[in-house]
Amino acid sequence: MSDIVQAMADSSLNDDVDARGIFGKTKAPDVVGSVIGSLESEDYSMKYGKIGKCLIFNHKLFEPHTRLNDRNGTDADAARLYCRFRELGFEVTLFTDLKVKEVEKELLKAGKDDHKDYSCFVCCVLSHGEQGILYAADAQYKTDRVFAPFRGDACPSLAGKPKLFFIQACQGDRLDCGVNVKCRISSDSGDEKEALRIPTHADFLIVYSTVPGFYSWRNTTNGSWFIQSLCATLQKYAYDIDLLQLLTIVNRRVAYDFESFTPTEADMHLKKQVPCITSTLTKNIRFSPP
C-alpha cells in the first residue's frame, strides 16, 4: 500500500492510456477559442451579446424507397421548439424534410459559422431512428455526424461554450413495459485572463428522447412525449433552475405522465419511455430573460 501512495505522490510519473497502440498520435490543434469569465466559474457565461443559434431539422415525409412511415404529429413538435427557443432569445432556423446531403451541408455550414458573439448553440433533430442512426428524407446517417462539426477542434468559436442537442427519434425496437412502484409518503474577481487546454468533446449536452435500444413514442396529433414535456418544462422553469435540473424534471414527466394507448395492438399497448441524457458539460447552464 505504501508503494501505491508513494507512486501517487510522485509528480514525475506520466499519465498513460488504456489503449496504447490502437490510435495514432494526434497533433495538438492550433485553434484557440475564447470564453468570457473565470475558468473556475460554476456557470457558463451567457454574456456574449447573443444567446445563440438554434437549428431544427424536422422530418415528416420520407421517400418511398426508405419504406418509412410519415411522422404525423412532428409538425406540432417543430412548432413548439421554434416558439420556445425564440422566446429564450435564440435565432431559430427550421428545416423540413431535408435529404442527407442537405442535412450535412447545413450542419457543416453552422459549424463553420463564427459564433464568437454567441453564448451557446442548440440543434434539434426530429426523425425516425435506430441506435446510432438517424434518417433524412432519402437515407440514413450516423448520429455522430450531427455533433462532429461543433467539436472544439472543428468549431473554435464554440470551444468552451455549451452545445445542446435534442434528438427525438427511436433508438431501437424494444418496448418498455414499465414496473409498478408504491410510493411511501412521509409526514414529517478581477480582469485576469486565464488559459486552459480543454478536451475537444467537452461542453456537449445530448438529450435523446429514449434510452438506447428502445422505441420513442409520438402522438399523431399532439406530438412526441419528449418534446411536449421539454417545451412545457422550459416554459415553466427556464429562468429558475439550471438546465440539467430542468431536464431531470423532463425525464420525470415523460416517465410518469405518459403511457402508450394502442388497445387494438396489445403488444404496443400501455408502454413507457424515459429520455436519456449524455453530458460532457463542465459548468451549469442558466438561461436569463432576453
The HSE-up count of residue 164 (CA atoms within 13 Å, CB side) is 23
Residue at 247 is within a domain: yes
Q: What is the pLDDT of residue 24?
A: 46
Cell output for 147: 455533433
| Per-residue pLDDT tens over the stretch 195-253 | 556 577 899 999 999 999 999 999 999 999 999 999 999 999 999 999 999 999 999 99
Q: What is the pLDDT of residue 191?
A: 43
Residue at 267 is within a domain: yes
Residue at 1 is within a domain: no
Q: What is the pLDDT of residue 229?
A: 98
Q: What is the pLDDT of residue 186?
A: 45
Nearest to 156 by CA among 28, 31, 283, 26: 31
Do 194 and 39 touch, CB atoms closer than 8 A?
yes
Residue at 8 is within a domain: no
Q: What is the pLDDT of residue 176?
A: 76
Q: What is the pLDDT of residue 42?
A: 95
**What's the CA gap between 47 and 155, in Å, rounded?**
19
Domain harbouring 127, CATH code: 3.40.50.1460
Q: What is the pLDDT of residue 22?
A: 42
**Total of domains in the chain:** 1
**What's the CA gap between 62 and 265, in Å, rounded?**
24
- Domain assignment of residue 137, given as a range: 53-175+201-280
pTM listed for this prediction: 0.86
Residue at 123 is within a domain: yes
Residue at 80 is within a domain: yes
Residue at 14 is within a domain: no
Active site residues: 128, 170
Question: Which residues are within 8 A (CB) of 240 and not within 5 positions of it... i.e. 6 or more apart?
Answer: none
Residue at 261 is within a domain: yes
How many Å is the Cα radius of gyration of the chain?
A: 21
Q: What is the pLDDT of residue 33?
A: 64
Burial of residue 220, with CB atoms counted within 10 A of its CB: 0-12 exposed, 13-18 middle, 19 or more buried: exposed
Q: What is the pLDDT of residue 86?
A: 99
Residue 36 CA to its chain's centroid (Å): 23
Q: Which pLDDT tens digits describe the chain residue by residue (290 residues)?
A: 555 445 445 544 555 545 444 444 445 555 556 677 666 789 999 999 999 999 999 999 999 999 999 999 999 999 999 999 999 999 999 999 999 999 999 999 999 999 999 999 999 999 999 999 999 999 999 999 999 999 999 999 999 999 999 999 999 989 878 777 655 544 443 344 445 565 778 999 999 999 999 999 999 999 999 999 999 999 999 999 999 999 999 999 999 999 989 899 889 888 999 999 999 999 999 999 98
User: How high does pLDDT run on average in the chain?
Assistant: 87
